[in-house]
Amino acid sequence: MTCPSALERMTGPVQEETPDSERKTPDQRAKMSDIERLRHSCAHVLATAIAKLWPDAQFAAGPPVENGFYYDVDLAHRISPDDFAKIEAEMKVVVKANQVFEKVVVTRDQALADAQKGRLAALGDRAVPSRFKLDIVQGIPEGESITYFKNGEFIDLCAGPHVMRTGNIGAFKLTHVASAYYKGDEKNPQLQRIYGTAFKNKTEMEAYFTMIEESKKRDHRKLGAEMGLYVMDTEYVGPGLPLWLPNGTAIVEELEKLAKETEFAAGYVRVRTPHIAKEKMYKTSGHLPYYAESMFPPMEFDENEKLRSELEIKTERLWAQVCELSRADAKLRGVDEENAMTYVEKVLLGEEAALGKLPPRISELYTEHRSASKALRNLPDAEFYFLKAMNCPHHHRIFAAEPRSYRDLPLRLAEYGCCYRYEQSGELLGLMRVRSLNMNDAHIYCTTEQFATEFNAVNEMYLKYFKIFGLEKYQMRFSTHSKEGLGKKYVDEPELWIQTETMVRDVLKNSGINFVEVSNEAAFYGPKIDVQVWSAIGREFTIATNQVDFAVPKRFGLVYKDRDNSEKTPLCIHRAPLGTHERFIAFLIEHYAGNFPLWLAPEQVRVLTIGDDDALVNYAREIVTELRASMVRAEGDFGTDKINGKVQRAEQAKVHTMLVIGPRDMAASAVSIRVHGKGNVGVKPRAEAVSDILAAIKARTA
RNA sequence: GCCGAAGUAGCUCAGCGGUAGAGCACCGGUUUCGUAAACCGUAGGUCGAGGGUUCGAUCCCCUCCUUCGGCUCCA
């Protein structure tokens, strides 16, 4: 289904990932690709070098990762990139020595004893135990074999696998150093994580670093600023809240147009919902307990604020008066001070007959107090409103707004809903991670029988989009639940989980879509698919998500009337093929290096005049007007600059098509066409040039 | 949120205890040029914010904000 990208050819097929905090099973280890094996081995070489330079280093984990490897180390010396040359030199010695990676099977007791002696992840015995290794040994399940890998004097607790010899590592380089918690838990000590990468040979490594350089040039934050797509006004608007400038908005609206056309053809209907909703919405949906901290704090909204405070003051005042008078009355009746209130309350509350005994003024005040506090109690509570972090609950309420029949299904509600998520400050990253986001969202309500067709149609839509954007490599990550998470991370519906996961798996298998299955990463309400794509330079992006929801419609009590007159809860498919505008455009900027195809280019056409002669400018202006009348984003540059200057400015602004107009063109009713990055492509009659442009935009061709 | 680094004109950067600098862009002129920069000039800054040290702070110290590199998280 997919062509291997340059990166894939370099790094081998993408593997299922396992979070650091979880151990890889022996089964997963067996699947380790050649390049991962090599990188894992290089991590050992790194540790060998560090152990030589700083013998007191304590090592934790050193796995291969997507583009390389790392080793986590606890060390008093703070390793900085300045140390890399020194470490790499030691690593080179190890690689040159061509040491054998020798696998040694040991008993648990032996491993524990060695860890105590500080012998693990070290070149010899040490005064202090290898404390992380000790912890890891203790975590290995009974019955699983415990192995070391030994290269030279360096012994590491490791399940492998490794390459045969250190000399098999053809090229390596340390890249950066970061911090990480042991086992990814912030309660654990913080370690230094030293990253590096390794390849079979130097050529492959150079290709990799070329790609990294290229991705820096294509960084959406850099290009987004240069091209005037968006700005972050952190001072007045806030971090993670992008302002879309006219150029960026043009792209946003083209994507919306694409989605609207595609969805309309596929039988979706459009809806619009507010940006906020009451607390009840998210209590009902079940999002609040799971996601409260990543939602913006609620706004308290009290319609009766004034009345409430008046009543509060009034009840307090009345009660104070009642108390005062009652004490005086009790005293009069000879009840001692200590029991005065008890006495009065008893009379007031219970003994009706005794009412008459009290001075009428107290009864009166008491009655007044009672009615005021009743009024206070009866005031509706203040409401809490949340900014919506997702559109689904609003759509569920649209489903609930009318009685639904099985004839209405599937019902496909689509909206470019603007959501707000309080992403942690350290998470914000240009447009990739933001706090306000526009989702290409839709919710499909369907019956169990309709599910496979609907789910498949959604996947087909993804593929259609991939084609438009020229994405050759993609992968669907099918995330399922875990039994242990039921009732915690996941709604406690074991049968529905199995049932929906089976349905999704069957659809994926039958359609031949490229997917991998990952357990324990589902949404809380059902299995999901994360859509990964690879940009033109081979970087991976997770752009979209597609989820099954068998839980939340039930929580909202959504039902449709089936053929047999029974009420049934629909299944819901959440889908957003273009993800969020923000992330998708960030991806497109890198993918196209800012050189957008005509239909997406913020400025599609710029008409440049050679000179500023009146007749010429009029002719050029006519062309701009004609194009704009057909919704082409065309501008004119009619100034006094030399044509070279105008061309350069247009090229730098990445204007897709430049129409250069000089006296010769005007005389022939023609235009001279120049395409961004391609140079002068020749002269055409004006009418033909215009119709070509319109046709290319309509076809959304590159 | 956590660890580390950085914030000087719209952009790219220089300066680093003693009056704040350049190029490009902007603006005003001049130039009339056939496909990646014609020329001249004006203007532009609380040197991220607040506090401290100092005779004097863009520079040194502290706090905060934001950004960047990671970690954690991602409905």
Write out pLDDT tens, residues A257-303.
Answer: 999 999 999 999 999 999 999 999 999 998 887 788 889 989 888 88
| pTM above threshold 0.80 | yes
Report pLDDT for A9.
Answer: 30
The burial of A56, by beta-carbon neighbours within 10 Å (0-12 exposed, 13-18 middle, 19 or more buried), is given as middle
Query: Which nt sits closest to A427, CA to C1'?
Result: B73
Q: Please report, for chain A, how many H helices and E strands are present, in that order.
A: 24, 29
Residues lower than pLDDT 50 in chain A? 1-23, 352-353
Residue pair A593/A223 in contact (Cβ under 8 Å)? The answer is yes
Three-state SS at A498: helix
Q: How far is the CA of A81 from the C1' of B69 (A)?
A: 12
CA distance A57 to A130: 9
Nearest residue to A294 (alpha-carbon basis) of A477, A481, A488, A433: A433
What is the sign, positive or negative, of the torsion defined by CA atoms of A134, A130, A81, A181?
positive
**Cβ pair A213, A175 in contact under 8 A:** no
Q: Å between A612 CA and B30 C1'?
A: 15
- At A52, list the tokens: 């030589």
Separation of A235 CA and B28 C1' (Å): 33
SS3 at position A202: helix
β-pair type (A540-549, A571-576): antiparallel
Question: Nearest nucleotide, C1' to the C-alpha of A545?
Answer: B75
Spatial separation of the C-alpha atoms in residues A635 and A658, rounded to whole Å:
10
CA distances from A368 to A318, A342, A541, A579, A653 (A): 8, 20, 67, 59, 75
**Minimum CA–C1' distance nucleotide for A432:** B74
Q: Which two tokens stand for residue A163?
A: 């390459």
Q: Output the six-digit token pair for A69.
A: 């490897």
* Nucleotides in B strand less than 7 A from protein CB: 1-4, 11-12, 30-38, 65-75
* Phi, psi torsion values for A41, nearest 5 degrees: -65, -40
Q: In this predicted structure, what is the pLDDT of residue A635?
A: 92
Nearest nt to the CA of A524 via C1' is: B75
Question: Cα(A134)–Cα(A146) distance, rounded to whole angstroms?
Answer: 12
CA of A425 to C1' of B46 (A): 28
CB atoms within 10 A of CB A635: 16
Say whether A694 sits in a helix, a strand or coil. Answer: helix
Q: What is the pLDDT of residues A520-543, one digit of tens each?
A: 888 888 999 999 999 888 888 888
Asked if A58 and A156 count as a contact pair (C-beta separation under 8 A), the reply is: no
Rounded distance in angstroms from the CA atom of residue A240 to the C1' atom of nucleotide B51: 28
Q: What is the pLDDT of residue A501?
A: 93
User: Which nucleotide is nearest, taking the CA of residue A216 and each C1'?
Assistant: B68
- Estimate in Å the CA A476 to C1' B74 gap, whole number: 17
